[in-house]
């Protein structure tokens, strides 16, 4: 019998008992089959961190009250017990400082999206990878849906012809009431500009939609124009927004996102329209995609063996992700990242589908420009199209 390879060791920053995405990431780590959670700084307080570690059965000597203590001590560990990488599932404002601290301690980073809350940090992170190439990826799962990979290949092969329009839609309703005042910590940081960023639904959902639109269609953004507002009284950040898109090839499109669309819970939807046909995919039925010819003939494609998404249209009180297909895609992303680490250690050129620092910088640019363009819905006279240009990041002299 072949000797089983040792699993890579990961520590988690964030993801305490009350964290929704922490639960999702731990399920994906377990499902990956090649990564094991061995430590972490799980909470915003020492008590929350140690309570989470105890519940998870993590060695208490590898549970920490703050992430800087963890990096300082774990950086000294040698041999087979050394951490292989860090996963970051803290609120948005912590993604950048935790990543940079992990790099300083010599650890690769697999981080929740987005890479940062602002462009200065995003460019600094990119610059850091130029100074000393760090292994880094963000936890976008769309490249790991087999059905979406097939759809992309169909578009790339020219089967729908020239791309004319690309629409994405991501509606959910779990924040349709003020959960943040009822003790829901996942909702609380998403309505706080200090922790979420300059926009709400834009930062939470729209950046992912824009990246999927470019990745699946093969055409890049040229300009955007955003409108949105906080629909729930008392909020500072938008919880409902639409971003108009113009692509480099002249195609138009939109990103429509909402955190307050009550009854919605089926994740991201993508439609790409060409001059010979169109394609459609939805996270809620993520193992299937549809092709429609110019003559109106519809072909449904189902990927055999792909996990069937968990249907939960009445889900309330939590973001999208508690879904068999989503967890399987995230587990595949963890496997991909682990394989990249092992390849680089072996001196091989890694082949990876994970969203790297350059793609993450495109999302950061989209978020920043959309937030700057954001026009209140009450001011219909103001329309601000903003050119989409990703800044060129170079080493400082």
Q: Tell me the pLDDT tens digit for each residue of 120-169.
A: 999 999 999 998 888 999 999 999 999 999 999 999 999 999 999 999 99
Predicted pLDDT of residue 156: 98
Q: What is the CATH number of the domain that holds 160?
A: 3.30.360.10
The whole-number pLDDT of residue 322 equals 80
Range of the domain at 288: 146-318+362-376
Q: What is the CATH number of the domain that holds 104?
A: 3.40.50.720
Whether residue 3 has pLDDT greater than 80: no
Does residue 257 lie within any of the structural domains?
Answer: yes
Tell me: do 368 and 352 sit in the same domain: no
Whether 106 and 39 have beta carbons less than 8 Å apart is answered as: no
pLDDT at 333: 98
Q: Are residues 24 and 107 in the same domain?
A: yes
Asked whether residue 69 is assigned to any structural domain, the reply reads yes
Does the residue 381 lie in any domain?
A: no
Tens of pLDDT, residue by residue over 266-306, are 899 999 999 999 999 999 899 999 999 999 999 999 998 88
Top-confidence residue, 120 or 380 = 120
**136 and 183 inside one domain:** no
CA-based angle 255:356:9, to the nearest 5? 120
Predicted local confidence at residue 306, as pLDDT: 81
Q: Identify the sign of the CA torsion 178, 181, 183, 188.
A: positive
Average pLDDT of the segment spanning 74-88: 97
Q: pTM (2 decimals)? A: 0.94
Q: How far apart are CA 118 and CA 190, in angstroms?
A: 15
The verdict on 282 and 157 lying in the same domain is yes
**With bands split at pLDDT 50, 70 and 90, how would you rate the model's confidence at 265?**
confident
**What does pLDDT average to over the chain?**
93
- Please check whether residues 222 and 279 belong to one and the same domain: yes
- Interatomic CA distance for residues 35 and 225, integer angstroms: 41
pLDDT given at position 397: 61
Position 1 pLDDT exceeds 70: no
> What is the predicted pLDDT for the residue at 312?
56
Asked if residue 259 lies in contact with residue 266, where contact means CB atoms within 8 angstroms, the answer is no
Stretch 51-76: mean pLDDT: 97
Q: Mean per-residue pLDDT for 242-268?
A: 95
Count: domains in the chain: 2
**Same domain flag for 308 and 343:** no
Q: What is the mean pLDDT of residues 56-67?
A: 97
pLDDT tens per residue, range 381-391: 566 899 999 99
Closest CA to 52 of 9, 89, 101: 89
Say yes or no to pLDDT of 324 above 50. Answer: yes
- pLDDT for 316: 59
Answer for the pair 355, 349: CB distance below 8 angstroms, yes or no. Answer: no
26 with 168, same domain: the answer is no
Classify residue 384: in a domain, yes or no. Answer: no
Q: 362 pLDDT exceeds 80?
A: yes
27 assigned to some structural domain: yes
3-state SS, 31-93, equals HHCCEEEEEEECCCCHHHHHHHHHHHCCCHHHECCCHHHHHHHHCCCCHHHCCCEEEEECCHH
On whether both 296 and 154 belong to a single domain, the answer is yes
pLDDT mean over 163-181: 95
Any domain includes 1: no
Q: What is the mean pLDDT of residues 219-248?
A: 96
């Amino acid at each position: 019998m072949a000797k089983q390879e040792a699993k890579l060791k990961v520590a988690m920053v964030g993801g305490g008992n009350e964290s929704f995405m922490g639960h999702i990431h731990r399920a994906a780590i377990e499902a990956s089959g090649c990564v094991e959670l061995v430590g972490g700084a799980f909470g915003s307080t020492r008590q929350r961190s140690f309570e989470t570690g105890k519940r998870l059965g993590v060695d208490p000597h590898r549970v920490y009250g703050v992430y800087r203590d963890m990096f300082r001590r774990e950086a000294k560990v040698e041999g087979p017990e050394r951490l292989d990488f860090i996963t970051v599932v803290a609120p948005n404002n912590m993604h950048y400082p935790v990543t940079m601290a992990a790099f300083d301690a010599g650890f690769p980073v697999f981080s929740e999206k987005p890479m940062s809350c602002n462009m200065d940090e995003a460019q600094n992170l990119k610059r850091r990878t130029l100074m000393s190439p760090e292994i880094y990826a963000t936890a976008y799962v769309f490249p790991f849906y087999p059905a979406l990979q097939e759809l992309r290949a169909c578009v790339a092969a020219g089967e729908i012809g020239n791309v004319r329009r690309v629409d994405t839609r991501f509606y959910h309703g779990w924040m349709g009431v003020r959960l943040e005042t009822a003790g829901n910590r996942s909702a609380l940081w998403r309505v706080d500009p200090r922790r979420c960023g300059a926009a709400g639904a834009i930062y939470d959902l729209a950046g992912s939609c824009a990246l999927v639109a470019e990745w699946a269609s093969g055409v890049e953004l040229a300009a955007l124009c955003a409108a949105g507002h906080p629909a729930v009284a008392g909020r500072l950040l938008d919880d409902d927004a639409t971003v108009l898109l113009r692509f480099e090839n002249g195609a138009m499109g939109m990103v429509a996102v909402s955190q307050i669309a009550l009854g919605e819970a089926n994740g991201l939807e993508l439609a790409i329209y060409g001059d010979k046909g169109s394609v459609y995919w939805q996270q809620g039925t993520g193992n299937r995609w549809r092709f429609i010819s110019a003559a109106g003939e519809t072909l449904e494609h189902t990927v055999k063996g792909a996990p069937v998404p968990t249907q939960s249209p009445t889900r309330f009180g939590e973001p999208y992700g508690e879904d068999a297909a989503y967890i399987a895609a995230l587990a595949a992303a963890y496997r991909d990242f682990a394989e990249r680490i092992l390849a680089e250690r072996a001196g091989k050129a890694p082949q990876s589908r994970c969203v790297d620092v350059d793609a993450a910088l495109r999302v950061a640019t989209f978020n920043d420009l959309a937030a700057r363009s954001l026009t209140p819905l009450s001011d219909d006279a103001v329309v601000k199209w903003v050119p989409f240009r990703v800044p060129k990041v170079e080493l400082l002299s």
